[in-house]
Amino acid sequence: MGTIGLAVIGAGYWGPNLVRNAQATPGLRLEYLCDLDLARARRVLGDYSTVRVSDSLDEVLADPAVQAVAIATPAKTHLPVAMAALEAGKHVLVEKPLAATYAEGRQLVEAADSRGLTLMLDHTYCYTPAVAHLRELVRGGGIGSVQYLDSVRINLGLVQPDVDVLWDLAPHDLSIFLSILPDDVRVLSVAAHGSDPIGAGHACVAHLTIQLTGGAMAHVHVNWLSPTKIRTMVIGGSTRTVVWDDLNPTQRLSVYDRGVERTEAADLGEDRRAQTIVSYRTGDMVAPALPEKEALRAVMTEFHASITERRAPLTDGRSGLQVLSILEAASASLAQGGVFMPILGADLDLLDADSEGVSA
C-alpha cells in the first residue's frame, strides 16, 4: 500500500488543520471531507478543490477509495464514528481524547486489534521537535533517574460547555508524560483538586498530582481563566533538569546541569543517627538547537508509516487508553474531595497480554 486514500471526518475547529496537513503529506490522498454542514465543508476546501464533500459517514466508509479516516468530531461521538470506521475496515486517526470514557476507549482498542488495523491518537505535542528531544534525553538516561515533572498549561478560555478543564487541557500534558517517561516509570495513582469560580458547572481551574513508581511525582496545573498564556514543563532528574518553554521559539528547551545531591555522613554514635549532608551542584546550561516544523505534519507522516509498515504508531490506541485511565481517576478524585485514586492499569495489562497471545 503506497498511497492511502484518506477521509477527514469533521470540518469544525480542528478538521481544517487535518485537511491542510493531509494534502501536504506524501503518501496520503485526501478523498473526502465529511461534515453534517456541507456548506462549512465546502468553505474549508475552497472553490477549486477536487476533494469530495459529504454529509454521510456511511457513504464515505462504503467507498473503497478510502482506506483510512481522520476523526475531528466531539469526544462523545468518537466511539460510534471510530467504531463504524473500524468495522468498515478503515485505519483510524482520532483527535484526543480517544473516547468519552475508558470503557469506550477499550472497545476501540480491542476492535482495532482484532481486525489488524491501525488506531492512532492525534496527540500532536508528542510530535514536536521539543518532545522528540525530551524523549531521547529522558528515556536515554540523559537526566539520570526521573525525580519529578511539573507542567503549567494556562490561558484565557475557551471555556468548554461539555467537559471540565482537566479533560480539555490535561490530555496534552499526560500524553507528553507518557511519551517521554522510561518504560519502568509508571503511573500509580492520581489526585485532583479544582474550582469553578465563574459558575460554569464544572472545574475551570484544576491541579492534578500523579504518583509514579520509584517515588517520583508529576504535577499538572490547567486553567481557563488566566489572563496570560503559559506553556511550561520542568522535568527534574538526578543529574540534570530540563525546562521546556513552548512559547519561547528561540529557546524552547534549556538543560541545566544543576541540582541537589545528598550524602550520608559517618555514624555519629549509637545514640545519634547518621547525618544527611546536602550539597548543591551548579553547572552549565545548554540550549539545544531544535528545528521548527509543524507537528501535525509529523502526525500525518507517522499515520501513513504505521499503516504501510504494519507497526504500532508512536501514539497508538493504548497510549490514548492510558490517558483516559488517568482522566477518569482524576474525575473520581475531584468528586471525592481530592483523595488519591488508583488508575485502571490492570485492564490495560490484560489487553497487552491478550494482544501478545493473538500475535503469537
**Residues 275-289: tens digit of each pLDDT:** 667 777 778 899 999
Residue type, 251: Q
What does the pLDDT look like over 306-345, one tens digit per residue?
Answer: 999 999 999 999 999 999 999 999 999 999 999 999 997 6
Mean pLDDT of the region 2-8: 94
The yes-or-no verdict on residue 158 having pLDDT over 90 is no
- Angle at Cα 87 formed by Cα 83 and Cα 91, nearest 5°? 80
| pTM of structure | 0.88
Q: What is the pLDDT of residue 345?
A: 63
The helix or strand, by DSSP H or E, that contains position 192, with its residue range, turns out to be strand 187-195
β-strands 28-34, 4-9 pairing: parallel
Mean pLDDT of the region 44-63: 93
CATH fourth-level superfamily of 4-123+295-359: NAD(P)-binding Rossmann-like Domain (3.40.50.720)
The yes-or-no verdict on residue 55 having pLDDT over 50 is yes
Average pLDDT, the chain: 91
Q: What is the pLDDT of residue 358?
A: 39
What does the pLDDT look like over 27-44, one tens digit per residue?
Answer: 999 999 999 999 999 999
Residue 355's pLDDT band, with cuts at 50, 70 and 90, is low
- Give the residue extent of every domain in the chain: 4-123+295-359, 126-286
Mean pLDDT of the region 283-296: 90
What does the pLDDT look like over 72-128, one tens digit per residue?
Answer: 999 899 999 999 999 999 999 999 999 999 999 999 999 999 999 999 999 999 999
Q: What is the pLDDT of residue 265?
A: 60
Q: What is the pLDDT of residue 359?
A: 40
Whether omega before 158 lies within 30 degrees of 0, making that bond cis, reads yes
- Phi/psi for 264 (5° steps) reads -100, 125
Q: What is the pLDDT of residue 347?
A: 53
- Angle at Cα 328 formed by Cα 355 and Cα 92, nearest 5°? 45
CA distance 155 to 167: 15
Q: How far is CA 205 from CA 111, 165, 278, in A?
A: 35, 7, 36
Other residues' Cβ atoms within 10 Å of the Cβ of residue 75? 21
* Higher per-residue confidence, 25 vs 353: 25
The yes-or-no verdict on residue 346 having pLDDT over 50 is no
Residue 132 near residue 292 (C-beta atoms within 8 A): no
Topology adopted by domain 126-286: Dihydrodipicolinate Reductase; domain 2 (3.30.360)
What does the pLDDT look like over 205-231, one tens digit per residue?
Answer: 999 999 999 999 999 999 999 999 999
